[in-house]
Amino acid sequence: MARFEYLEAHTVRQALSMYRRHAPNVRYVAGSTDFLIRSRMGNWNPEYVVNIQHIPALQRTSFSRRNGLRLGALTTVQTLQDHESVQTHYPALAAAAASFAGVQVRNLATVGGNICNASPAGDTLPALLAFNAQCLSTGPEQGEQRSTALDEFFTGPGRTVLEPGELLTEIRLPRPEPNTGSLYIKHSPRGAMDIATVGVASAVTLAADRRTCKDVRIGLGAVAPTPIRAYAAEGILRGNEITPESLAACAEEARNTASPIDDVRGSAVYRKEIVGVLTLRTLERAVEMARDGTMAFETQRRLAVQAAF
């Protein structure tokens, strides 16, 4: 493990100034669940580590029906899983959080960290994409703020639009639409403590007739260099009647959107094969949830981690 200087920030301003003072070889850390592993493996060797975990302003979460969900970047994954408003209004996100690693890691890992690591397989990312998340960040020089749509945030595996020293501060999810259902399904060989071979989150909003798809957003994980939205697939369903055929066509298009690779977790061929299957399953369940309103969280959690059963 490499040696580094450890610094602790208690405000965003302090964090940014620490960055400026020691730039460029500085890394922000929060839960450090990725950092410690990569540091030990020798992949990340910063000279300075700025721990932002103790910045109160980044720890707040709030929900209102008008403004939607606001997640401080330090919101832990366990909080996402347990948060009543997330479970009620953004169920795919709560289910995704529940499928994330194990409880010890969930208690440390933050939603901001999961976004900034920009892993194609990050478990919260397909759901955040499906809920149209916006990322608020603050630049290192004048503290300038900007907001970026999550689907424009990732530029490659482990890469984002953030400038050096820029700090992700908050994630905003638009207010929930009525008649909406959403679900995340993760395929992995193990039922927990595993990284997704493929992860799919779908959110479906039905029109007042409960048959027409008013809106649909599909987030795909681990099938492209970054988590992606399946826009073409969404286009097939949006504005059209929900039928087994239209759902299947949508899922098939999602499959075509995927451009996975071979790695230790699965082959490209296999990933491509099941992304359609998982998309169809999330859509079917999301439609059910949009119609019936609820699905027990325990059921969602089980669906999320044990895709098949």
The CB-of-76 to other proteins minimum distance in angstroms stands at 20
The reply to whether 231 sits near other proteins by the rule CB under 8 A is no
How many residues does the structure list for the chain?
309
When the beta carbons of 3 and 65 are compared against other proteins, the nearer one is 3
Residue 273 binds other proteins, judged by CB under 8 A:
yes
Does 244 contact other proteins by CB under 8 A?
Answer: no
Grouping H, G, I as helix, E, B as strand and the rest as coil, residue 156 is: strand
Q: Which residues are registered as beta bridge partners of 162? A: none
By CB under 8 A, is residue 309 in contact with other proteins? yes
When asked if residue 270 is in the footprint of other proteins (CB under 8 A), the reply is yes
Q: Which residue is listed with tokens 């999961």? A: 114
Q: Binding other proteins by CB under 8 A: which of 115, 162, 230, 305?
A: 305
Quick one: 107 or 306, whose CB is closer to other proteins? 306
Distance (Å, rounded) from C-alpha 137 to C-alpha 168?
A: 4
Q: Which is nearer to other proteins, 45 or 67 (CB)?
A: 45
Kindly give, in sequence order, each residue whose CB lies less than 8 Å from that of residue 7, ignoring residues fewer than 6 positions away: 18, 22, 48, 49, 50, 51
- 51-54: which pairs have CB atoms within 8 A and are 24 or more residues apart? 51/6, 51/7, 51/8, 51/9, 52/9, 52/15, 52/28, 52/167, 53/8, 53/29, 54/8, 54/9, 54/10
What's the min distance (Å) between Cβ of 224 and other proteins? 19
How many residues sit in the footprint of other proteins (CB under 8 A)? 25
CA atoms of 164 and 153, how far apart (whole Å)? 14
For residues 161 to 200, the per-residue mask of contacts with other proteins, x marking binding by CB under 8 A and - elsewhere, is --------------------------x-xxxxxxx-----
Q: Out of 267, 293, 294, 299, point to the residue binding other proteins (CB under 8 A).
A: 267
Among 249, 277, 295, 297, the residue binding other proteins under the rule CB under 8 A is 277
Closest by Cα among 34, 32, 33 to 6: 32
How far lies 209's CA from each of 16, 205, 241, 276, 291, in Å? Answer: 51, 11, 10, 27, 10
SS3 171: strand
Q: Choose the binding region for other proteins from 19-27, 86-94, 259-267, 284-292 (rule: CB under 8 A).
A: 259-267
Q: Is 308 in the site for other proteins (CB under 8 A)?
A: yes
The contact set with other proteins (CB under 8 A) reads 1, 3, 187, 189-195, 264-267, 269-270, 273-274, 277-278, 305-309
